[in-house]
Amino acid sequence: MAQEVAAAKVAEKPRRNTADYGYRASSVDDHGSEHVCIVGPSVDAIVVVSSINTAFGVMVASRSTGIILNNQMNDFSWPTTRDVHGFPPAKKNYIEGGKRPMPSLSPIIMVESSGGVLFLGTATGVANTASSLSQVLIRSLWIGHTVKQAIDAGRLHNQLIPENVVKYEKTTDSDVLHGLTKKGHHLSLEDWQGDVIALRYVGPGALYRGSYDFRTTDPGGLDGGQVPAG
């Protein structure tokens, strides 16, 4: 019931008050992320995401290992300062002892009621991370697309601030764009909305179908290939 009420509030036309979409504070962006999805022989699932935050982290490399050090502390909000992307500070993300900053990383593992792992996914792309992954998830599990089709499909993203504009990729279905325009949404073309990798259970014998994102120029995954767990 709550979902139906929330959907009814935003379905007919775009809302000018960003709070109507549940927005309360800025999301914190990240750069230089790496991610991997793994399913083991016993169908143990792991999704790992790592980030040095902004480009080149703190711009300091370890003398002993050569590893570039991250500046993850920069993901915290400072009460009187906007972040590097111009977003206002988020009170829930103020720096305090014992807290960790709130990055935009959004790994996900979906498990069936029987305990079987149904879907694994993760994404990069700064503020687009959560919206990119959720669209792939919806297409794969509810619309019936293959993992590759779901990842390849054009995506939409609305950051709500500083402008309430729906950003879309050039591969987005024209009917979708027409429908959004008809409802009064303002659209803006965006060339890149991050990249997603995912695995989905597709059959008996612990068979999974996985795909990387064509938006990544040097992928380290599978182009829609089927692999048995382990």
Tens-digit pLDDT profile for residues 45-61: 999 888 887 778 889 99
The pLDDT score that the predictor gives to residue 219 is 47
7 lies in some domain: no
Q: Is 140 labelled a binding residue?
A: no
Q: Quick one: three-class SS letters along 79-109?
A: CCECCCCCCCCCHHHECCCCCCCCCCCCCEE
C-alpha–C-alpha distance, residues 91 and 216, integer Å: 34
Q: Per-residue pLDDT averaged across 109-136, rounded?
A: 89
| pLDDT at 9 (0 to 100) | 61
Considering the domain boundaries, does residue 121 fall inside one?
A: yes
Is the pLDDT at 173 greater than 60? The verdict is yes
Residue 62 scores a pLDDT above 60: yes
* CA dist., res. 229 & res. 176, Å (int): 36
Tokens 């498990």 correspond to what residue? 111
Enumerate residues 6+ apart whose C-beta is below 8 A from 22.
none
Rounded Cα distance between 172 and 195, Å, is 15
CA distances from 66 to 40, 52, 69 (A): 31, 14, 9
Query: What's 204's domain CATH number?
Result: 3.60.20.40
C-alpha to C-alpha distance for 134 and 122, rounded to whole angstroms: 10
Residue 129 placed within a domain = yes
Residue 164 lies in a domain: no
What backbone torsions phi and psi does residue 12 show, to the nearest 5 degrees? -80, -35
Beta carbons of 103 and 129 less than 8 angstroms apart? no
Residue 69 φ then ψ, to 5° = -80, 145
Instruction: For residue 213, name the pLDDT band (cuts at 50, 70, 90).
Output: confident
53 labelled ligand-binding: yes
> Which strands, in side-by-side order, build the sheet including 207-211?
108-111, 117-124, 195-203, 207-211, 226-228
| Domain hosting residue 47, numbered range | 27-155+193-228
Residue 76 lies in a domain: yes
Q: Does residue 185 fall inside a structural domain?
A: no
Q: Which residue has the tokens 């999301």?
A: 27
What is the arithmetic mean of pLDDT over 209-228? Answer: 62
- Residue 52 annotated as binding site: yes
Mention every residue, 6+ apart, whose C-beta is less than 8 A from residue 91: 25, 77
Q: Give the list of residues 6+ apart from residue 68 with CB closer than 8 angstroms, or none.
A: 52, 56, 57, 58, 59, 60, 61, 62
Identify the pLDDT of residue 116.
Answer: 87
Q: Residue 6: pLDDT band by 50, 70, 90 thresholds?
A: low
What mean pLDDT is predicted for residues 17-45? 67
Q: Is residue 132 part of a domain?
A: yes
Lowest mean pLDDT among 47-56, 116-125, 140-149: 47-56
Q: Which residue has the higher pLDDT, 207 or 119?
A: 119
What pLDDT, in 10s, does the model give residues 63-84?
999 989 988 888 888 888 887 7
Q: Average pLDDT in the 131-150 region?
A: 94
Residue at 112 is within a domain: yes
Q: Is the pLDDT of residue 190 over 80?
A: yes
Domain count, the chain: 1
Structure tokens at 128: 């687009």
- Interatomic CA distance for residues 16 and 6, integer angstroms: 15
Is 175 one of the annotated binding-site residues?
A: no
